[in-house]
Amino acid sequence: MPIDPNRRSFVPTDAAGHFPLQNLPYGAFRPAPGAPVRIGVAIGDRVLDLAAVTDAGVLEGPAATTRAFHAPSINAFLGLGPDGWADARARIAALLAEGNAAWLDDPRFTAPPLHDRAAVELVLPVDIGDYTDFYASRQHATNVGTMFRGADNALLPNWRWVPIGYHGRASSIIVSGSAVRRPSGQRKAPDADAPTFGPTRQLDFELELGYVVGVGNPLGSPVSVAEAPGHIFGCVLVNDWSARDIQAWEYVPLGPFLSKNFATSISPWIVPLDALLPFRVPAPPQDPAPLAYLARQGDWALDIALDVAIATAAGRAGGRPAHRIARTNASTLYWDIAQQLAHHTVTGCNLRPGDLLATGTISGDAADSRGSMLELSWRGQEPVDVGGGEKRAFLEDGDEVVMTGTCEGHGVRLGFGEVRGTIVGA
């Protein structure tokens, strides 16, 4: 899909920022402490209050007539489907276009419709009913398999045939900036006869891309790979926190449970899939060729540069910025998002508006492109430099993990903002 780099907003936007007119991500916010939650879009360093422009009669169309932006989440808006999303996106872009600021003086406004983004409280933008986490990065799966099973048996026989995933816990998904309490559970040392109970000693992050279901499917009706993009509203950054020592003890035979259910952080802005279409690229080749129901239909790998940085407690006290420890790209995923969604529904499983699906940890080929501490420190054997002379095998209390994602090309730069989380003690 072409992108016009010359389109500008009357709201100033930094060329190095994340939120130009070509982005217009959706979020939910409180304009003041205790105020009702509002739905908005980010533009530059501002947030446009979509309920306010609807009430003033400035924004029209299906989203206005259904009062979809008056709810505390975007779920009602998701139910309008691709035509409703496209209509609202075009109308909002026209409102914010350069030379079209006169509507701000409309006497029907009872309060300013544009807010300082740094001054509002951002909350979860979507009511997430179900959450599914995939394991779609070949490099990540290979690294983890090598650690636990050896290089000769790194990828299990089914991995190149099946997009592996598990059902996660929606109730513990939190918005960026929320603290993450160190979980406790059973962990067993390799040389111990029995497990012990206590706080995890191997707390980790996982760098992922999440995508929000916009249009669901009826129970018993699979979604094909070709149809899958029409069911995806947009994407967020995901940090799926993990307790590796708890995970190592519990994951056989059924997989992650308590090691993953305590917290999953997401970025507060949902970047519409429409904004990401210009950044589609060919995905890595698949060998063997997938079964017919998983055959690729076009390019659905997304060229999104992903960074992870850590700000330690000592670093923040000393005024040091977060230290980047990893950079990778979502385009390296072996299974693309259309294949993941199609596989999820092939049994007839019904997805619903607001469901969150995530890719699993995204890692690249280089040592500094690994998307978890487990890989970066190679199971704790090679501690990672986090700046100021500090090193980490796994996360310590007071560490803040900061993830960012950006797309650059076609004369524009857009991004997801950040997903942040600080570890507090058990």
Q: Are 128 and 358 in contact (CB under 8 A)?
A: no
User: With the C-alpha atoms ordered 73, 168, 120, 279, is the resulting torsion angle positive or negative?
Assistant: negative
Please classify residue 165 by burial: count the beta carbons closer than 10 Å to its beta carbon, then call 0-12 exposed, 13-18 middle and 19+ buried: buried
Among the listed residues 140, 231, 323, 344, the single catalytic one is 140
Whole-angstrom distance, CA of residue 142 vs CA of residue 332: 13
What tokens were used for 97?
């276009």
Whole-angstrom distance, CA of residue 415 vs CA of residue 271: 8
In a 13 Å sphere around the CA of 287, the CA atoms on its Cβ side amount to: 2
115 assigned to active site: no
Neighbours of 86 (CB within 10 A): 14
Catalytic residue list: 140
